[in-house]
Amino acid sequence: MLKGLVDAMEKMIGKVSDFAEGSGKMVAVDGKAVAVFNIDGKLFAVDELCTHAHGPLHEGSVENYAVECPWHGSRFDLKSGRVVQGPARNPVSTYKVVIKGQEVFLDI
C-alpha cells in the first residue's frame, strides 16, 4: 500500500540513453522544468531555473558536481542544491532520480 503511494510520485522522464554523459538536459514534469545532469554515469536533478534571475541551468557547465549558471555565473551543488558561488543567494531544489532497468524516473 505504502509502496504504491511512493511509486505514484515517481514520474518517468526518459531512458538512461537519453541523458548523455557530461551534459545537462531539461525535462518537464507536471509543468515544472527540471535540469537533469549525467555526471560520471550518475544522474542528478535540480530546478531548471537559477534562483538569481531564472537562467537556464541545463545549459550550464558542470565542474566538481556543481553546475554554473550560463547567465551570471552562480554555481549550485548538484547533490544538495546549495549555492557554491553567487550572485545567487538561494539554493535550488534537488530531486531524487530513480533508475529502473533502462527507464529513468524523477521522485517529485
DSSP-assigned beta bridge partners for residue 36 = 25, 45
Compute CA 88 distance to the chain's CA centroid, rounded to the nearest angstrom: 17
C-alpha distances in Å from residue 35, one per residue of 10, 43, 67 = 16, 10, 10
* 85 touching ligand FES, by CB under 6 A: no
Q: Which is nearer to ligand FES, 28 or 53 (CB)?
A: 53
Question: Of 74, 83, 97, 106, which one interacts with ligand FES (CB under 6 A)?
Answer: 74
Q: Which is nearer to ligand FES, 10 or 65 (CB)?
A: 65
Q: By C-alpha distance, which of 10, 14, 39, 4 is closest to 107?
A: 10
* 55 touching ligand FES, by CB under 6 A: yes
Give me the residues that bind ligand FES (CB under 6 A), please. Answer: 50, 52-55, 69, 71-74, 87-88
